[in-house]
Structure 1
Amino acid sequence: MPEPGDDREPLAELSSFRANFYNCLTARADAFFDLTDALLCADGPARTPVELSLTAEHRRGYGSFYAALNDGRLDTDRLRDLLTRLPLPRFESGRIVLSVDVSPWLRSDAACSPERLFCHVHGRSRSTAQIIPGWPYSLVAALSPGPSSWTAVLDAVRLGPEDDATAVTATQLRAVVERLVREGQWLTGDPEMLVVMDAGYDVTRLAWVLRDLPVELVGRLRSDRVLRVPPRPLSFTYQPLGRPPKHGAELRLAKPDTWPVPALVRLNDTERYGKAQAQAWDRVHPRLTHRSSWLDHDGELPLVEGTLIRLKVDRLPGDRDAPPLWLWSSKTGATTTDVDQAWSCYLRRFDLEHTFRYFKQDLGWTRPRLRNPLAADRWTWLVIAVHTQLRLAAPAATDQRKPWEKSTLPGTTMTPTRVRRAFRNIRPRLTNPARVPKPTRPGPRRPPGSKNRHPATRYDVGKTIKRPETLIERDQARR
């Protein structure tokens, strides 16, 4: 680690990333690179592409912005490997904690943009939920253990009309974990990687699909779920006919009288939430009775056991009453340390929400009005590259706070907004592989008064295929 005040090592690492990132740009690389520098050095939030084209770091014309996004090429596989090789934040005992979540790029007024889906978004309250067309993106990021909300984004995938969300998430997580193992971020003997997710994911299905990887999955459950406990062991005096039972009694999360005696009970004092009580039940599993999400599984449905955790805290920020939080971990036989790490790391999952908000409000992720979804993918990866450069520049940045802002406490990392404010002073000391633009002339335009004789195609919103729900429908679709 560099000594305090010594920023040579962070700047060398940042310069190396910039050079390797430039090599990932295979077409219109100079325009792409100037665009990222303009986004890094812009004053304040990026509201419109016009403001980015007027910065001193953007040495090309305004038209190069959309020309690069529409006609440029970016090697995403190479960029994924580059992001994986960077130093990642780790928790206690060197454990890597990943989080996966979906954030929509809303495009309600883009009737000529293909591959849009109906995205479920919330307003200022839970009662103002809306369904708006847009492009949903699934992001995987490594979480940080400290008091900051920095995350290391490792992958981004856009969900299409023909995609199954659970299958895409499983493929995405498998690819991320395999890259981490291949790049040496996880070695044999290290603690398993922890993947935390919200209630919108089928955590039991993902745990079964990813059971061959060194990962532990922790997901939130709805409070109306019904699970099963292990069956009681049979006595030697009573041997019923038939095979032994697979499922025990029901455990209804909404009915405390159905809860058995917990295997573990932990009571911790937290500074933010007061007293936190965690109860854990081992080998709790759902009873799989529907084939809707298991149609590709041949044979009898499996028994996916894990640890059920109930977390109850005294208060939430703002002195609000806190309802109990139900979590399910794919690890059986969990100890008290495993239970504490599961719920504490899950609470860090909300750092990814701060990353989404910073992408949209400050970096202008959803500001450009792009028609082609491939152009939206390229812009998304540019925003991820910008956020990665800010994370690498944080140790070398000097705080330039406004008079009304609080000073950064010693030993803490500055926020992404303050690091971006200081990046313009760091940029002259970094590698800049982009070439100087050549003088050009304006291209031909449509003659005044002529009409557009090639109107753009309009596309419907939503899924384009109907998935089979029974084995009979599946077999008929395979024929």
Structure 2
Amino acid sequence: MPKFNYNQLITQFQDFRQKIYNCFESCSDACMNLLDALAGNTGANSIAELSLNPLFPRSYNSIYKAISESFNTTSQDTSNKVEEAEEEKDNLIRVISELIDQPQKRPFYLFATDTTPHPRPYAKTLAERGYIYQPNTIKGNKPINIGHSYSILSILPEKKNANAAPWSIPISGERVSLDKSSVEVGSEQIQALMCDSSLHWHEKLCVLVADSAYSQRSFLFEQSKHQNLVIVARCRSNRIFYQSPPVEESKKKRGCPKKYGERFDLADAETWHLPDETTQTQQTTRKGRLLNITILAWHQMLMRGTKEQKMYRHPFTLIRVHVTDNTGNSVWKPMWLIVIGNQRQQISATVAYQSFRQRFDIEHMFRFCKQHLLMTEFQTPDVKHEENWIRLVMLAYAQLWASKDLATHLPRPWERYLKPESDTIMTPSAVQRDFQRIISEIGTPARSPKTRGNSIGRVQGQAQTQRTKHPIVKKQSKPTPDKQKAA
């Protein structure tokens, strides 16, 4: 890389860090040091151990003050403070969005949304704990736990090649409250993102990839209102859809026209009509295994709606993906995808499948944040402090993405076979190893700490009040009338 380009990258990274620093109105110095220590963490297993990092030149109690004041909403004038905190989060989203270049190979920005568990089974004084979904590795155990869930909306950057490192830059993270579902929170995040005119993807073609939980009618109906958004969501293999009704001009009858055509049962191949599009392609895995991919697409498909959610006005493309090996055996179960949106014709079946495959990068991000950025290690009885910590972890991950072009490959002894110039090795873990050197060379906008002396502590005889213990709340399922139930 030429020296001029390298210096330009340093300048861009410094500008990005300065903008983050300016977003914090309180304890900005401690917050910036905490972000650096977190992004450059290679050995700390707890939050307090981050104070031992050379990038955090403060005492350990400054960590907890930085967390509590980073997105502070506790004040006498609560309404104004909440508005300031929301504006602070919006400013951070705008700063992170500047890291994403305009796609060159594909004509759209790619987003992904999902929910990750934050288990807190023993935090009896933590409010609003409920039963959450958490996968369990032990066969036969129920995949549930007690704690909170967080809905994360991230942007998936364009890859230079198919085997590039999995990056998923989080831009919005909200806790799923007890009175809402993860799908409802995700819908609100997308609504805020699409309506923000200051973001450079405003009114440009955007694609959102999501798992089967987001293929339900209520979510797709709300997102179909955005003119520039296309949803690619996986759906269960037991769903029932319908063809568009045939148009018969010669046999017009009085009354409401027919809205649904023939039944299309995903589990019954006899109900399938001939696909409108058939594509066959091949893919080579990283280990050199050749896979044959058959993609079938049916256009103008419909799903049942309700009186309020008229889904017959929002047709979609139904895609079936079947992957086999050289012997013709299925590699895994055939996958069904829904492509819905006003501009879905611009997304081919092959592009929709490739975009959905990149959705799994958000799973890599969740795993990295929990294993290396201590995402679920902050044990606090305050819900707001926990939410602040989740957002700080997201910012630390964004810092790693912003500095990946400045990082040097530092292979482990068993990784020396990797080529230093390869784009596949610049993973979040590889950047994290070299992050301390990068910050030591370019500096930090945070000011050096000043010695304050020792605190006088509590007055003799003063007793702290015990924290209130909160019960575990179980969400009640919303009853759906039989007439509104849809497959």
The TM-score by the shorter chain falls in which range?
A: 0.7 to 0.9
Deviations 1:20-77 (A, max 9, x none): 1111111112211111121123334x41123211122211111111222234436222
Structure 1 residues 127 and 270: CA distance shift in structure 2, 3 A = farther
Partner of 2:78: none
Structure 1 residues 31 and 243: CA distance shift in structure 2, 3 A = same
Deviations 1:206-231 (A, max 9, x none): 33223233110010000111111112
1:213 aligns with 2:227: yes
Alignment of 1:273-292 (within 5 A): 274-288=291-305
Q: Which is worse superposed, 414-423 or 207-216?
A: 207-216
1:458 aligns with 2:456: no
Partner of 1:183: 199
Q: Given the alignment, which residue of 215, 222, 226 partners 2:240?
A: 226
Cα pair 2:215 2:235 within 8 Å, conserved? no
Partner of 2:65: 67
Partner of 1:270: 283
2:25 partner SS: strand
Structure 1 residues 362 and 202: CA distance shift in structure 2, 3 A = same
Partner of 2:48: 50
Partner of 1:154: 171
Deviations 1:340-367 (A, max 9, x none): 1111100110000000000000111111
Partner of 2:81: none
Partner of 1:250: 263
Query: AA paired with 1:378?
Result: N
1:408 Cα offset (Å): 3.7
Partner of 2:455: 443
Cα pair 1:10 1:392 within 8 Å, conserved? no
Structure 1 residues 253 and 428: CA distance shift in structure 2, 3 A = same
Partner of 1:21: 20
2:15 partner SS: helix
Query: AA paired with 2:236?
Result: R
Taking only the aligned residue pairs, the percentage that are identical comes to: 24
1:128 Cα offset (Å): 3.5
Q: Which is worse superposed, 127-136 or 395-404?
A: 127-136
1:26 partner SS: coil
Query: AA paired with 2:41?
Result: A
Cα pair 1:306 1:332 within 8 Å, conserved? no
Distance 1:452 1:364 in 2: 32
Query: AA paired with 2:447?
Result: R
Q: Which is worse superposed, 319-328 or 342-351?
A: 319-328
Distance 1:167 1:286 in 2: 20
Distance 1:432 1:366 in 2: 27
Q: Which is worse superposed, 410-419 or 120-129?
A: 120-129
Query: AA paired with 1:435?
Result: R
Distance 2:220 2:24 in 1: 36
1:429 Cα offset (Å): 3.0
1:123 Cα offset (Å): 1.6
Q: Given the alignment, which residue of 331, 334, 353 partners 1:321?
A: 331
Cα pair 2:39 2:435 within 8 Å, conserved? yes
1:27 partner SS: coil
Structure 1 residues 463 and 76: CA distance shift in structure 2, 3 A = farther
Distance 2:334 2:34 in 1: 46
Q: Which is worse superposed, 125-134 or 137-146?
A: 125-134
Q: TM-score, normalised by structure 2?
A: 0.85
Distance 1:419 1:320 in 2: 37
Q: Given the alignment, which residue of 110, 127, 151 partners 1:97?
A: 110
Deviations 1:271-294 (A, max 9, x none): 1361110101111111125x7xx5
Cα pair 1:307 1:332 within 8 Å, conserved? no
Cα pair 2:302 2:311 within 8 Å, conserved? no
Query: AA paired with 1:155?
Result: S
1:311 partner SS: strand
Cα pair 2:228 2:343 within 8 Å, conserved? no
Partner of 1:421: 433
1:118 Cα offset (Å): 1.6
1:142 aligns with 2:158: no
Distance 2:335 2:189 in 1: 27
1:199 aligns with 2:212: yes
Distance 1:33 1:332 in 2: 42
1:465 Cα offset (Å): 7.6
Distance 2:408 2:39 in 1: 15
1:157 partner SS: strand
Distance 1:124 1:59 in 2: 40
1:322 Cα offset (Å): 0.8
Query: AA paired with 2:33?
Result: D
Partner of 1:378: 388
Query: AA paired with 1:341?
Result: V
Q: TM-score, normalised by structure 1?
A: 0.87
Structure 1 residues 301 and 384: CA distance shift in structure 2, 3 A = closer
Partner of 1:474: none
1:9 aligns with 2:8: yes
Structure 1 residues 167 and 43: CA distance shift in structure 2, 3 A = closer
1:130 Cα offset (Å): 2.2
**RMSD across aligned C-alpha pairs, in angstroms?**
2.9
Deviations 1:362-381 (A, max 9, x none): 11111111211211121112
Structure 1 residues 262 and 94: CA distance shift in structure 2, 3 A = closer
Deviations 1:290-348 (A, max 9, x none): x7xx5xx6xx66543100000000159xx983100000010479669611111110011
Distance 1:243 1:109 in 2: 58
Cα pair 1:112 1:371 within 8 Å, conserved? yes
1:101 Cα offset (Å): 0.6
1:245 Cα offset (Å): 1.4
Cα pair 1:90 1:97 within 8 Å, conserved? no
Deviations 1:228-274 (A, max 9, x none): 111233362x5555432111111111110111111001001111361
1:154 partner SS: strand
Distance 2:8 2:142 in 1: 47
1:167 aligns with 2:184: yes
Cα pair 1:154 1:176 within 8 Å, conserved? no
Partner of 2:75: none
Structure 1 residues 91 and 142: CA distance shift in structure 2, 3 A = farther
Structure 1 residues 451 and 222: CA distance shift in structure 2, 3 A = farther
Deviations 1:70-91 (A, max 9, x none): 3443622221221122234736
Query: AA paired with 1:389?
Result: Q
2:171 partner SS: strand
Alignment size in residue pairs: 455
Cα pair 2:207 2:230 within 8 Å, conserved? yes
Deviations 1:82-108 (A, max 9, x none): 112223473623421100111111111
Query: AA paired with 1:410?
Result: E
Distance 2:291 2:104 in 1: 22
Distance 1:409 1:224 in 2: 47
